[in-house]
Each structure stands twice: as C-alpha cells, then as structure tokens.
A and B are shown apart, each in its own frame.
Chain A
C-alpha cells in the first residue's frame, strides 16, 4: 500500500467517524489508481503496422517464462499495465515467422522510455515501447455519499 493509499484510507476512516450512520450506509466508494502502463507500437519501416502480431512479455525477475501476452490491434498497438518489478522488461513481437525483441529498463524513477528494434534491409520490423501514465499521481479515492437517506430523515 502506497503512502497515498494509506492517507486516503485514513481520511475515509476519519470521515466515517463523523458521518451519520444513515448516510454511511448509502455510501459508495470508487477506487481509482493510476499505474505504470506501457504502450507498444510495432510496424515496418514502410510505416505499415504489424497488425495482430503476437506480443510476449517477460518480467525482470523471471526472464525465462512469459509474464503476460497479448495481440496488437490492426494499427500494431498494444497497451497494458506492467507489474511492480523494476529492472529490464523484455517484449517479444512475432508475426508471420519473423520477430523482434525490445527491452525497457524500468526503475523507481523511470522516465518515459522509448526503445526500438530493427532488422537489416528489406521489411524492417520496428518496435517502439513507451511507458505512459507513470504512477506519479498515486492513488485517488472518491467517497460519494448519497444524500438520499439523510434527506429522508430530515
């Protein structure tokens, strides 16, 4: 749990102590948390996207076994949320018997990173990986107290 999460949880608990029970019983909590996300874009040097290419992801703490996998969309893009592990994440993109591997170093204070992988001569495969939505915003908690119950008791 991050410090932001702890603070937010503490705030909610404190608020609960001073809120009438009837109101609390109708409260709805929506938890939204930003996380480190990756946007991958795979295409050929002609600009043609690597549509529906297989993407296999390897985490820093286990580079042998796949951490996750997915398929690029028709524009050659795939977005997903990384795990908390820091270090070298590897992304293998394969299509029609050809592939490319790119690596991204992710640290605690990692900036947006772009990596490319290319092949020699004709039909070069280019894969760009960028970290987006880095979790600087921490955790946001929203407490929405419906006033219906309180209004009814009024």
Chain B
C-alpha cells in the first residue's frame, strides 16, 4: 500500500522535489503505528481448579465426609469474559463493573484436569493496553453438550469405590475483584505479558476433612455423601460460590 502511494507520486507529474517529504511522511506513519504497537502488551487468561482438580481429594484433603476423589475430567465452559481496569478498585460487592474494558472472545470449554504444572489451562491471549487489570467478569454457561460444569471421576472410602458424574446446567455470572495469590497479577506493561486466572474452588462443593466441621465452608458444602450411590447426578451450583480469582472473591448471581 505504501509502495503504491510512492509509485503514484513518483510516476506522475508530481514534482520530484516533493519526494523527500513523502518519504518522511511514510516513515513517520510507520513509526507512529510501530509506536502504538510497542505501547500494547498482552494479557493471557487462565482457568484453574487448583490441585484439587488435577490431583483430586487425597488425605488429609479428603471431602468433608471422608471420601477420596479422583477426577477423570472436569469440563467447564466460560463465556462473556471481560478484564477490567477499575479506579477506584472494584471490590466485588455487586454485579456492575465500570472502567476500561478488555473483552475476550468465547465461549471456552476446557478440562481443568488436563492442566499445566501450575494446575492452569490457558483460555486465550489478547493484546492489551498498559495498566492494571484489577477486575474480571465472566460467566459459567452451558457448553455444546448443554452442561456448564461436568465432574467425572471415582470416589473411594473404606474399601468402597464408586464412579460418578455430576453435571450442572446452571448459568452463573461472576463479577470479581483483583486476583489474589502469591503474587499480584494483571499488570500490563508496554511490550510486556501479564495474566489473570479464573479459579474454581472445588472444596466449596465437597468440603474439606482437614478443616473444622463448623468451618463456614464445610457448613455450606454438599460433600460427597449425597452421591455415594454412584452414577449420574444433576448438580445445582446455587449458593456454592465456586468461582474465584485466585483467592479473591467474586460476586456471583444466576445468569
């Protein structure tokens, strides 16, 4: 395109004295676009079920009712994902987030058991403006199979072994604040790479034997005993608050 413009002017009756000026303009244009490119970094979004997904529930981290769980697959479908730069920081106290929005294409259906060494599965990487992405909105939605979340595996307790499949058709939207973990995340710098993470806390579903019985999480968690007969079960996600950003909380609501 730039060469075409160059030829047009060069071959026409246009005064050749203007050539240096045209060349300068073209170079300036290229430099400007290069500058814009350099100002952008990238933001990669991951999903994780943590080690409870990849390694299962093993002693002492059994379910709250003493079952060991091994998962063959945990498929989840995520959609309507937007990373946000918010100021003042969004504190996950309601469904509305305002700020600089960076949408991700979706939906993404992933198996959280088939994860990397950090128990994460990459969903997408997008170009991003510099700044701190300190909020994330996303939804757990039914995938092509009609289920938003499917947990399939084997449960063991006291010599008993059962196969199970838990499936949910629920749609749950999440408005999350800043990722919380060993390191802060979401800082995009010029030419740099940053990442964020959607985290499903499976212990909110099954509870944890290594925590107190009266721990708020164990009081609300279903545990595995209702599924101990094995087979397929429909699962309601209402009130479980599985969705997090690392250890950071989300405001979730039926979608």
Contact = CB atoms under 8 A, between A and B. Distances in A.
Interface of A: 44, 58, 63-64, 92, 94, 96-101, 103, 117-123, 125
A122 B239 CA distance: 9
Kindly list the 5 A-B residue pairs having the minimum CB-CB distance in the complex, ordered from nearest.
Answer: A123-B216, A119-B249, A99-B180, A99-B247, A122-B216
Interface of B: 88-89, 91-93, 132, 177-178, 180, 184, 187, 201, 203, 211, 216-217, 219-220, 239, 241, 246-252
Given A98-B247, A101-B178, A103-B89, 20 more contacts: A44-B216, A58-B184, A63-B132, A64-B187, A92-B180, A92-B184, A94-B180, A94-B247, A97-B247, A99-B180, A99-B246, A101-B180, A101-B248, A119-B92, A119-B249, A120-B92, A120-B251, A122-B216, A122-B219, A122-B241
12 contacts: A44-B216, A58-B184, A64-B187, A98-B249, A99-B248, A101-B180, A101-B248, A118-B93, A120-B252, A122-B216, A122-B241, A123-B216
Contacts of B203: 97
Contacts of B220: 122
B207 to A, nearest CB: 13
Contacts of A123: 216-217
Contacts of A117: 91
A92 B249 CA distance: 13
B239 to A, nearest CB: 7
A25 to B, nearest CB: 53
A120 B180 contact: no
A115 to B, nearest CB: 9
B176 to A, nearest CB: 10
A140 to B, nearest CB: 36
A120 B92 CA distance: 8
Contacts of A121: 239, 241
A63 B132 CA distance: 9
A152 to B, nearest CB: 62
Contacts of A58: 184
A122 B215 CA distance: 10
A101 B89 contact: yes
Contacts of B249: 98, 100, 119-120, 125
B191 to A, nearest CB: 16
A125 B220 CA distance: 16
Nearest to A94: B247
B187 A97 contact: no
A44 B239 CA distance: 18
B198 to A, nearest CB: 16
A44 B250 CA distance: 17
B152 to A, nearest CB: 24
Contacts of A44: 216
Contacts of B247: 94, 97-99
A96 B250 contact: no
B104 to A, nearest CB: 23
B53 to A, nearest CB: 14
B124 to A, nearest CB: 23
Contact of B241 (A94, A100, A120, A125): A120
Nearest to B252: A120
